[in-house]
Structure formats: C-alpha cells, structure tokens
C-alpha cells in the first residue's frame, strides 16, 4: 500500500493570516498544500508564496457553475503563483467547459488538470489528449452521486488513460461538511482522524482535510502563537 499523503485544505485556514498558516503547515511537516482560489464579487486575490518545493493543489471553480458557486479562478492565479514557486500546481476544475481552460492553464504553468466527469461534454479522449499534449497530467473527478462506472473507461479501457481519479466525499461547496462513508467504495472532503483510516483502507493515497486540521485543539495547543488565538 502506498503511503498516504496529507494535504491540508487551506480554504479552512484563517484567510486573514494565510501566509502564516502556510508556514505553519509546512512546519508541521505536510506533504502538499490544497489551495482553493476564490473570486468573490469581481475581486481577484493573488497569493504569493516562496518556498523550496511544496505541492499546491488548486480548485478552480465558476460562479456560474452548480459545482461550487463560491469558487472561480483560472489562469491568472496559476500564472501569478508560478512566478513565485516551482511547486507542482494540481488544478481541479469545477466548470462546465474544461476544454476551454486547457491551453490557458498550460501556458500559465499548471502541471495537473482534473476535470469533472458530470458536466464535461464532447470527446473525452480528445480532452485527455489535449491535456497531455500541453504537458499536463490529466485527471477526472467524481461527485458523491456519480457512479464509478461513469469514468472507469477513461483509465481501464483507454489507450490514453487519465492519471488520477479524484473521488469527492462531500458536495463541492464549502469546508466543514461531514464525511460520506457511502463514498468509500469509490474514494476529497470531510476527512479527519475518525475517517482517514477507512479512506486509506479503501485505497485513497492522498487525503485532503481542512476543518479537522485547522480546528485541531492539539495543533492549536502546540502552536500558541497562532494568530487565530
């Protein structure tokens, strides 16, 4: 069994002290940083971080998408981050037209490109081929209500398979939701000390957790200088 990677979701951090929170997580020894980039009321927030090498997972959403109405970012943020870090930028798109984002995100410096199986239209193989042709690694995501067989052909039967399957164990909206155990047969979300073992046993090798990390009384006790206290 592969060693599971812990990726704290920075959406659950104290966003008024994001730089401190990032440093805090790095000091705690995390492997990846899961970043949800927001676009609220037309205001764009650029986040710059400098460190030797850390993986940043970025969820890109659209205010017009039923996936995650609070998330809306694209190539401008990826390009901004790329100027400040060589980190692996893993982009999870929650949009209805992923094909339109392939070239802009590739030019911006994205490494991973995960698209939703539920709303993407057109030739899947054409989309996967285009992602790979631009030097990115393709992945596919499944919402809680989506059956695994909906995407199985993209890596079980395909000559040009995707390289990652992202199984969401909460609805793609906000942090702090409860883990859905019925998703373990497919196994992002609601993960914490009480559910991580079950997810890992089901085959998950990257655990994204938000509220259970940043609201942890143990971590807060170990870091009394935390700005949120």
CB 135 within 8 A of CB 106: yes
- The encoded tokens of residue 5 equal 């990677």
211 CB-near residues (< 8 Å, 6+ apart): 12, 175, 176, 192
C-alpha R_g of the chain? 17
- The encoded tokens of residue 46 equal 């650029």
Distances (CA, A) of 147 to 150, 156, 225: 6, 15, 45
- The encoded tokens of residue 165 equal 């399957």
Residue 58 Cα to chain centre, angstroms: 5
- As annotated, the active-site residues are 36, 188
Query: What value, to the nearest 5°, has the Cα angle with vertex 190 and ends 42 and 35?
Result: 40
């Amino acid at each position: 069994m592969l060693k599971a990677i812990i990726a704290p979701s920075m959406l659950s951090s104290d966003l008024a002290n994001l730089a401190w929170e990032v440093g805090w997580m790095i000091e705690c020894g995390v492997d990846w940083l899961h970043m949800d980039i927001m676009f609220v009321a037309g205001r764009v927030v650029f986040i710059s971080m400098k460190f030797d090498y850390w993986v940043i997972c970025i969820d890109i959403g659209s205010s017009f998408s039923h996936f995650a109405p609070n998330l809306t970012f694209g190539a401008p943020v990826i390009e901004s981050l790329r100027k400040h870090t060589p980190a692996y930028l893993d982009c999870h798109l929650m949009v209805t037209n992923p094909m339109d984002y392939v070239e802009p995100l590739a030019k911006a410096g994205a490494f991973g490109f995960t698209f939703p199986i539920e709303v993407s239209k057109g030739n899947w193989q054409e989309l996967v081929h285009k992602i790979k042709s631009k030097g990115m690694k393709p992945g596919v995501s499944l919402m809680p209500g989506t059956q695994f067989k909906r995407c199985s052909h993209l890596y079980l039967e395909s000559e040009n398979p995707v390289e990652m399957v992202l199984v969401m164990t909460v609805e793609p909206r906000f942090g702090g939701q409860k883990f859905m155990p019925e998703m373990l047969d497919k196994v992002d979300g609601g993960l914490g000390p009480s559910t991580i073992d079950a997810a890992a046993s089901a085959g998950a090798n990257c655990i994204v957790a938000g509220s259970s990390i940043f609201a942890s009384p143990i971590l807060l006790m170990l870091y009394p200088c935390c700005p949120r206290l």
